[in-house]
Each structure stands twice: as structure tokens, then as C-alpha cells.
Structure 1
Amino acid sequence: MHDPAARDHDARFRRVLDYIDRHLDEPLDVERLSRVAAFSKFHFHRQFALRFGVGVHRYVQLVRLTRASHRLAFRQRESIMQIALASGYEAPEAFARAFRKDSGQSPSAFREAPRWDAWHAASQVISQIRSTHMTPVHTDDAVRIVDFPETRVACLVHRGDPRLVGESIRRFIDWRKLNRLPPAASRTFVVAWNDPETVAPADYRLDLCAATAREIADNAFGVSPATLPGGRCAWLRHTGSDATLRASVAWLYRQWLPASGYETRDAPLFFERVRFFPDVAEHEAVTDIFLPLGAHTPAHG
């Protein structure tokens, strides 16, 4: 996008998307959001829908319901009433109707046994908009070379359809609660063996890990002992939604790595979850990326 006027429009709409993420618990009507974008309220809704393929009211609703789905599935201590109010609904009945329309389940049924494949289709609208219009910007000085220590972990391996990772996450959370290994006491890692966009669903693998030196007893959750190998890594901090995490990884591979003089090591990319959504807003979530490195050839001037 080279035209200055077009770049200005893009920046103004990106500002709106960022504002929605940062003020999700506040009223987000067209008049307020049009002021953020500095557009006429009489034309803003049409401009938003034409640019993103979804109306602004619907986009805000989907963002709120996506957060609600994570709270229902992963934060059992929050009541459905609390989640409904946080999602902008004054009554749980209205929240239940809206949630069922997108997920095919009532909030209570989803909390009991989420059907992630149905919800995945609805949330893809948000992911597509964010990955296209909210790409993170990184510079070379944001990357650090670190020596990652060999780390013993408890590991749950997810194999198969990436849309069903939520089921594995719930199982892993239940194991951690039972064994009193919350994220505050045990670092959380995710090993990305492959890219869900480039492999068949049946071949997808993701390891969920919690750092611990304890012995891992046999269990019904599928959690077993494993070790994250130590060694030199490129470290990059990603702040924000998982929808834009792939863009940060792509920048590290495409931009930083060729210019760095390093080769990759024969070990998979992995992440450390530092701040979790939905405990924090999506724009405040923090994920550290670790790219295992091998030999280094100094650049010649």
C-alpha cells in the first residue's frame, strides 16, 4: 500500500481494532468508534464492513464471545453470569442466545464439553482480520541470542486436528491443578513441531509443557516426562493475540535469520507463555519465541 491516503486509512482502521481490544469491557458503539477512526459516524459502519467483510457490531460481538469461550472452557471459577456481564450482556439469557448462535451450544454445555470445531469457524473471522491488518512490527535489536538451559518438563502431546487443541489444553490444565503446578509456580512452554497451515490435520503435533523436576506418575491425562533440550536460541518477545503470533515467527525466519549469519539447529521452535489470555486481555498477552540456533558464520563486509 504505497498511496499516503490509503496508508492513512489503514492506520485509522488499525487504530480502531486496537481500541476495541483495549476497551472491550466498555461501551463500543459506532459513534465512539467512528471518533477513534476520525470518520463520520454516518459512513463509518459501511467503511468498516467493506474493509473487513463484517460489520463493526458483529466484530465487537465476536471478540467478546471469543473471550467468553476461553473463560468458559479454561476458567471454571468464573460464573456464567460474570462472563455474560463481561461480554456486554445484562442478562444471561441474551448471552446464551448469542453464544449458542455461534457455537451451537449453550454456555453451560460448552463449559462442560466444548465443541471447538464449531467455535473455530466463528472465531476465524477475527483471526483473519487481525493477521491481515494488525501485523506486529519488529526490529533486529528486539532479538537476543540466549543459552536456553536443558529443562525437565511435564508434557502432554497433542496430535491431530489443530482446531481441537482446546481439548488438550483443558486436559493439561486439569492435570496441573491436580498436581498443584499452576503457571505462577511452573513455567509454561509450547513446542511447535510443525505449522498447522502447512501440514495435514492428522500430522499436526503440538506439545504442552510445564517445567518441573518432579517425577511424573502414570496418569489418565496423557501427561509424561520430557526434556526441552538446552542450547543457543534466538529469543523474540511477541505481545498480543495468537492470531498475529505466526507473523512474528515468519519475521524471525524470513527477515532476521538470513541476515544473522546463523543456521537453525535440528530442534523444533518453541514458545514460553509468559502472560495468558484470558487472564489478561489479548493485546496484553506475552509469548516468548525461541528459535534453536546452530552454527554462526560472521557476515563479511
Structure 2
Amino acid sequence: MESINSIPFQKVCHFIDKNLNTKLPLDDLCKIEHLSKYHFHRLFHLHVGLPVFQYIQLQRMKKAANQLYYHHLTITDIALDASFENTESFSRAFKKVFLVTPTQFKQSPNWAPISGNSLNNVNTTQANQPMEHSLIANVKIQWFDKTQIASLSHKGSPQTLHISIKRFIEWRKAHHTPPTLSKTFNILYNDPHTTPAEDYRFDIATNITSINLTNDEQLKEDKLKENTQGVELSEIPKGYCAVLRYTGSDDNLGELINALYSQWLPQSGKQLRDFPCFIERIKMFTTVNQTEAVTDIYLQIE
């Protein structure tokens, strides 16, 4: 399946995100786009919305925040991985972005300070034109088999979604179902930008065919209820789906999903079935750099 990956300066951003733990000389970045330093600075800022070194620092801090919350790494290890010589300079840089120290963030994470700092945040109209233009050609119609899932429902503000994700990770570890062995799905019941926080729902799930529980369905359901994380047995129904594969940061997922509804669907002549849009995490940000993350977006259709 082909993947949409045509954002301006995508190659440079991909190179940066893949090499956040090394020095990133400006000359090397300029060579990727075949631009002089003068033009590179102006054009990068125009398309990405941030000066290049501010973008690099932001991506390092986003990666560090992910490591602090989801991984058992020391602050010293994270600082060195982010190319800082000591924890003091790392802590100052981290606090400048997240407004709290790394230790405070680890205890009580708040992702809000970076929620508006996405790739192409400033010039979204121009940046997304080539991505949306190629949308129609990249959508595939595929059959999706009924899939039993172990699912955790997050209900409430999107700002606290990380807490539910961490609970689900704990459940996966207990049942030996890492993303490398079992699929990861998200079921998107609402648009976080238009839904009141108290009504927002987002399900995190994995298929359970690989979970060594029991062949008896009732016993399997009972077994799934024996957890403190709130994971329950559910399913994604079978049927035809419109599928779009996307490579890159989650920052653009919302716009792609909206384009599927507003652009592809009216032109396709298809009707939606009564099941929410869902995505499969083919390659997750927790296991690869964010520009290498691969996501399949599904709309169930008649």
C-alpha cells in the first residue's frame, strides 16, 4: 500500500527526527534540500512554522517527554540521548518547553504546552495542499475481517489520554502482547476539537487472537474482566473499508481524517456503516521515530 508523505521539507524533518541523539550541522540539512543557508532558514521557517534549531529542540523535548513517561529511563540517560552534556542544561531546556522540570513532568505529565507546536502549524493551508490533493488516489477499498479486541475506553478530556494509554500499556505487558507481536488499534468516536471534554471517547485496543487465554469465549471474557486497568472484550466488525495509509507524525492525522470525510467520501458515492472511524498503528511512535510512524486509517463503508 502506498503512503502519503509529501509535506514540504519532509525529508529534512525525517532526517532530524531520526538523528535527534546526534549533532545536526546546518550544512548537512541544507544539502538535503539543495539550498543555501540563507534560503534554507527562510523556507524551513515558512513551511514548518519554526526556525530549524527551535524545531530540533522541540522534537528532542517531545521525545524526552515520551521517554520520561512511558519508559523506565533515568533523566541522565534521557539527557544524553537528547545530545545534552549534562542534566542541568537538559532540565533548563525541558522546563522552557513544558514549564516544569523533568522530574515534575514524570510525576504529573502535562502535554498541553506542545499541543499547538505541530509540523506545519503556521502554514497549514499551503503545506497540506499536496497531501490532500493526493488523498483520493491513495485510498484503497479493502475487506476487513471481524476482529476480537481487548479494549480500554478513555472517556474525558483528551489532555488526560496519556493516563489511559499508560494503563493499557501495563495491561499489554501483563499479557505479553507488545506492539511487535499483536496489532494496535484506536477507535475514534469523536473529534477532540469539536467535542466537549466530558463527552470525548477514544478506545485503545489490541487484537486478542495471539493472547494465550482459552478457546472458550465465556472463559476468555471472564479472564479479560480480571484486570485493574479497565480492559474489556470487544470487536471491530467485518466489512469493506476505505483505507488510507499515512507515514508521519500524529499532528496531521486529524486533517487527513477530516479530508477523508469531506473530500473522498462525497466523490466515492459510498455510504458509511454504523461504526466509528478507527486506525491501526502499523509502526508506533513509541517504537520508531515519529516521522517513521505508519498509520492505517479506516472508514467502514457499504
Instruction: Give 3-state SS (helix, strand or coil) of 2:53's partner.
Output: helix
1:121 maps to 2:113? yes
1:206 maps to 2:202? yes
Higher relative contact order, chain-length normalized (CA < 8 Å, sep 6+): 2
**Alpha-carbon distance in 1 for matches of 2:122, 2:21:** 19
Q: How does 1:1-301 map to 2 (within 5 A)?
A: 11=8, 13=9, 16-41=12-37, 44-45=40-41, 48-49=44-45, 54-76=50-72, 78-114=73-109, 116=110, 119-127=111-119, 129=121, 132=124, 133=127, 136=131, 138-213=134-209, 214-215=220-221, 216-294=224-302
Kept after mapping to 2: 8 A contact 1:159/1:203: yes
**What letter is aligned with 1:102?**
V
Q: What's the RMSD between the two structures over aligned residues? A: 2.6
Shift of 1:24: 2.8
Note closer, same or farther for the CA distance 1:39–1:236 as it changes in structure 2 (3 Å cut). Answer: closer
**Alpha-carbon distance in 2 for matches of 1:14, 1:239:** 10
Shift of 1:103: 1.9
Instruction: Give 3-state SS (helix, strand or coil) of 2:225's partner.
Output: coil
**What letter is aligned with 2:150?**
A
**Alpha-carbon distance in 2 for matches of 1:92, 1:50:** 33
Kept after mapping to 2: 8 A contact 1:237/1:287: yes
**What letter is aligned with 2:162?**
G
**Alpha-carbon distance in 2 for matches of 1:292, 1:16:** 35
Kept after mapping to 1: 8 A contact 2:151/2:205: yes
**What letter is aligned with 2:146?**
E
Instruction: Give 3-state SS (helix, strand or coil) of 2:84's partner.
Output: coil
Kept after mapping to 2: 8 A contact 1:156/1:223: yes
Higher mean C-alpha displacement, 160-169 vs 43-52 = 43-52
**Alpha-carbon distance in 1 for matches of 2:99, 2:142:** 46
Instruction: Give 3-state SS (helix, strand or coil) of 1:21's partner.
Output: helix
CA-to-partner distance for each residue in 1:66-100, whole Å, 9 max, x for gaps?
Answer: 11111221222x33333222212121221122112
**Alpha-carbon distance in 2 for matches of 1:46, 1:143:** 34
Kept after mapping to 2: 8 A contact 1:148/1:233: yes
Note closer, same or farther for the CA distance 1:187–1:15 as it changes in structure 2 (3 Å cut). Answer: closer
Residues matched between the structures, number? 280
| Corresponding position of 2:213 | none
**Alpha-carbon distance in 1 for matches of 2:157, 2:71:** 23
CA-to-partner distance for each residue in 1:19-48, whole Å, 9 max, x for gaps?
Answer: 433443332344443444455435754665
Shift of 1:239: 1.0
Ranges in structure 2 where 5+ consecutive residues have no aligned partner? 1-6, 210-219
Instruction: Give 3-state SS (helix, strand or coil) of 1:262's partner.
Output: coil
- TM-score if structure 2 supplies the norm length? 0.81
Ranges in structure 1 where 5+ consecutive residues have no aligned partner? 1-9, 295-301
**What letter is aligned with 2:277?**
L
**Alpha-carbon distance in 2 for matches of 1:203, 1:59:** 33
Shift of 1:57: 1.9
Note closer, same or farther for the CA distance 1:232–1:14 as it changes in structure 2 (3 Å cut). Answer: closer
CA-to-partner distance for each residue in 1:228-249, whole Å, 9 max, x for gaps?
Answer: 2222211111111101112322
**Alpha-carbon distance in 2 for matches of 1:30, 1:168:** 39
Shift of 1:56: 2.5
Kept after mapping to 1: 8 A contact 2:49/2:119: no
Kept after mapping to 1: 8 A contact 2:157/2:200: yes
Kept after mapping to 2: 8 A contact 1:241/1:282: yes
Kept after mapping to 2: 8 A contact 1:131/1:244: no
